[in-house]
A and B are shown apart, each in its own frame.
Chain A
Amino acid sequence: MNAFARIRQSLIIALWFMFLTFPVLVVRVNTIEKVVEWRWPNMVYVGIGSFLISFVWRYLLERKAQGGEKEIYPAPATGKPVMQRLMAEPRLYRPFLIALSLFGLAFPFLPFASTYQINIVTNALLYIMLGLGLNIVVGLAGLLHLGYVAFYAVGAYSYALLYYHFGIGFWAALPIGALFAAIFGIILGFPVLRLRGDYLAIVTLGFAEITRLVLENWNGFSFGPSGIAGIPRPGLFGIEMDLHQGTIYIYFLMIALCLFTIFVVNRLQNSRIGRAWVALREDEVACEAMGVDPTMAKLTAFALGSTWAGLAGVIFAAKTTFVNPASFTFLESAMILSIVVLGGMGSIVGVIIGAFILILLPEYLRAFSEYRMLLFGMIMVVMMIFRPQGIIVGIRQIYEFKKTAVKEGSRR
């Protein structure tokens, strides 16, 4: 395409967007005072903006199209993306990991780490747990789950109600909440076993809505929309902590739980059941033919995925000290799903990065205050277009048959 054609095309795009945004951006009616406000400058901005952006957009799309060809036919050894190569080579990633863990340990004591900073990072860690849990269901087992937040709610309400009625503390509630969520996951798992793809999606969504509505309407059980307040933060051998210390404590608690989650999920991925999930994701019929029981695989995926949501829910309740149904809406499910997809399905590192971006971004966008959700939506679209497979592409374990390996008896 020559320069002239490009300019012409961009002009058309600019005109199209000026037309498109005309009623919403230019006209504003005040129905009370019966005046119409005409904001013509907006139209000019839209025109110029979309003209310029269309060039960038087209350039990027073309670049992606070229890059895409490379990705489809990778050269066997050298074609791996840098990130994957980095992750496959202990020599390269170890120093990085050490630096990262040092930073993680030192973070709350650094000068800029105010209570607020620690709090939002803790929040991001919480979403890493949720993301990794959902990753089991969506990323590994390939079941599109739009109601994950229901299990999060089960965890949160388990702790809240157990504390309220029986005075059960955080540490006892943690496994109980996880257990309740897992049982709930299995209960949901049964009816949806036969459903595929998007039918599954809408049923899980419906299930989450039912859970939220019951919490909202059944006052005798859940105290309805006014929620349950005054849930204690996690204790540490009865030591009194002020707000800042308490926040640091929850931060370290979250780090520990995240590491635990990463460890477990990583082990699960390479286990027998993990491989069964991947097989299920790739093809249900073939997987059944190979001797994997899809019912068991699906149920365990739901149960294990829900367990993490339950754990995260208990921590959420302890962290905010208050639960009400408004925290468990569909948007929350969509957020967790976005973390998984944006980060890269099936990739642990991807989920971690995804959680940091999606949770911290709106907080740091506070400077743009009212534009932050607009930017957030835009970034989601743009990221997907230019990186549809997510930031980090999940690596499939490749099992090579090596004679030496057999002799040594190592299982890698």
Chain B
Amino acid sequence: MKIRLSGRVFLSWFIIAGLAGLFASPAAAADTIKLGVAGSHSGDLASYGLPTKRAAELVAKEFNAKGGVLGKKVEILSEDDVCKPELATNTATKLVSRGAHVVLGHICSGATKTALGIYKDAGIVTMSSSATNPELTQSGKYPNFFRTIASDDAQAKLDADFAMDVLKVKKIAILHDKGDYGKGLAEFARGFIEASKKAQVVVFEGITPGAVDYSAVVNKIKQSGAEAVIYGGYHPEASSIVIQMRKKKMGTLFISDDGVKDDTFIKVAGKAAEGVYASGPKDTTKNPLAIAAIAANKSTYNTDPGAFFLNGYAAAQALLNAIQKAKSTKYEDIAKALRTYPVDTPLGKIKFDKRGDAIGVGFSMYQVRNGVYVEVPAAAPATAKKKK
């Protein structure tokens, strides 16, 4: 703002800046293995994307310390998509243009779907640490897609079974945040419950994220006599609903998903969070690799690992390991290697099935007890081993 801002000068300044930007784009550079990392690194969903980026940087450092991959250094190309589909195309083409060999991303399912078409055409293997939409792997439209997290339907089934078999409730209210992830999960949960006929869905509603309060929908739950609420969505709305339910002295059980299985939820909801159930990725923090990864994160970035950190870590390891095993950066070779060779990751020993889902990655159920999430046995037979 130190230049004269008269219209014309301003304009020419922009044109110059624009051209400078055009020319500044780096030509395809030195001999490195380029790992693209795409996701929400800014904006309101940044807290879901940044941990994966940190994980990728740590893994790259670790590989480089051991001499790199195929004798080349690993380079991280990080791009922000703010979880918006229309920006994800820009992000994806930018990564393709910069010559990424494999991509770790994206974070949100919508953005991932948009970007995958581009990666598919460019022949790039893509692995997400957090995109849980079932269609991504089950539709067969995206042969280049892999992920280190289980899909929504698996999680919805776990939530529904837990409510019906373990908690033995008969009347269930299902809420969602109208988002891609939350609504998908809620629809699956409703499907499972209605199919099993063990319980009844008394309320099925979408709430508006960011609305000033949720008293009307809370009243509706109260009126319906539901014994448990299954909520599909993220923690900010979940905490509001739980707080308002507890303020109304409602003892309704609250079961939710891995968008809620986040320590921020407990911090925000405070006392009201006690007793809330949330499903989340299987607890592997006892795994020595996971302990090492978390410690490395702490010493390098001085932060908590955050959401999907271990999934991101595992994904980065799997990708780089596959390149090493395949001795090539070609699409077919990497994809084959991912499906053939198991790799040791913080999530355990994983390899990928035909559709791209990681074998051996599943969900567990957690409950908030004394301000921390504690794993609870999801005793019902049909849980935890989601292999299909």
Contacts and interface: CB of A to CB of B under 8 A. Distances in A.
Touch A–B, Cβ below 8 Å: yes
Interface of A: 31-32, 53, 56, 60, 63, 67, 82-83, 111-117, 119-120, 123, 216-217, 219, 224-227, 229-230, 242-243, 246-247, 316, 319-324, 326-327, 353, 356-357, 360-361, 363-364, 366, 369-370, 372-373, 382-383, 386-387, 391
A246 B121 contact: yes
B111 to A, nearest CB: 9
Contacts of B2: 56
Interface residues of B, number: 52
A397 B199 CA distance: 72
Contacts of B79: 366
Given A226-B183, A230-B117, A320-B85, 9 more contacts: A112-B23, A112-B25, A116-B94, A116-B98, A226-B110, A229-B114, A229-B117, A366-B80, A369-B42
Given A53-B1, A115-B96, A320-B114, A369 B183 contact: no
Contacts of A226: 109-110, 133, 135, 180, 183-184
A292 to B, nearest CB: 33
Contact of B1 (A56, A123, A324): A56
B117 A353 contact: no
A386 B196 CA distance: 66
A217 B178 contact: yes
Contacts of B8: 82-83
A387 B267 CA distance: 47
B386 interface: no
B351 interface: no
Contacts of B96: 115-116, 243
B179 A225 contact: yes
B5 interface: yes
Contacts, number: 139
Contact of B84 (A115, A217, A326, A391): A326
Contacts of A119: 89-90, 93
Contacts of A115: 93, 96-97
User: Which 10 pairs show the lowest CB-CB distances between chains A and B?
Assistant: A114-B97, A364-B21, A116-B97, A116-B94, A243-B121, A322-B114, A119-B93, A321-B117, A225-B180, A387-B7
A364 B18 contact: yes
Among B6, B7, B85, B121, the one with the most A-chain Cβ atoms within 10 Å of its Cβ is B7
Contacts of A31: 267
Contact of B121 (A216, A224, A242, A369): A242
19 contacts: A53-B1, A113-B22, A116-B94, A119-B90, A123-B90, A217-B206, A219-B183, A225-B110, A225-B179, A225-B183, A226-B183, A229-B117, A229-B135, A230-B117, A242-B121, A320-B88, A366-B80, A382-B1, A391-B7
